[in-house]
Amino acid sequence: MTLRAILHRSARLPLAGACRRVLRIGVLVVAATTATGCLGLAPVRPDVPPERFRERTIVIVVDGTPGLPFEGSYGTPAVTQAARGHVPAQFHMRSAVAVVATFTKATAEGELIVRLVVDGQEVARRQTSQPFGTVMVSRVLSR
């Protein structure tokens, strides 16, 4: 059915004049939005380059005293997963927005070092020697 037919049909409805005009405007808005694929509603952001939200390869390197047991989690701010193991260890993931990692020593002794490596380049490093210490590291990737 064409837009002209819809508008003609709405003119014959037994509605008051004001209601008929509102209906016609609503039909026009829906038709215009559909015809443009909703692009008319999306803001144009020429300041955002296309590579800004490129998915990146991330390696979370847990290092320090060899054999030191640890536990924690890693992932994105929205979704994390639990992890545990012994030093040294690596966890791999992909993200376009950000990465977060939190690890805690399971013993009082030893040193725990956590490094974030994004696309082969170390971007963050934190460490602790505190008894049962925790290391938290994060990085926003979409700058």
Strand partners, 92: 59
Cis check: omega of the bond before 46, within 30 degrees of 0: no
pTM value surpassing 0.75: no
Q: What is the pLDDT of residue 113?
A: 98
- What number of residues does the chain have? 143
What is the rounded radius of gyration, in angstroms, for the C-alpha atoms of the chain? 28
Strand order in the sheet with 134-140: 80-86, 69-75, 98-105, 134-140
Return the pLDDT at 19.
56
- Alpha-carbon span 3 to 35, nearest angstrom: 11
pLDDT in tens, the chain (143 residues): 565 565 555 555 555 556 556 556 655 555 555 554 544 444 555 565 656 678 999 999 999 999 999 999 999 988 999 999 999 999 999 999 999 999 999 999 999 999 999 999 999 999 999 999 999 999 998 76
Q: Given this model, what pLDDT does residue 77 score?
A: 87
Strand partners, 75: 80, 100
pLDDT of residue 39: 46
Quote the CA–CA distance of 74 and 76 in Å, as a whole number.
7
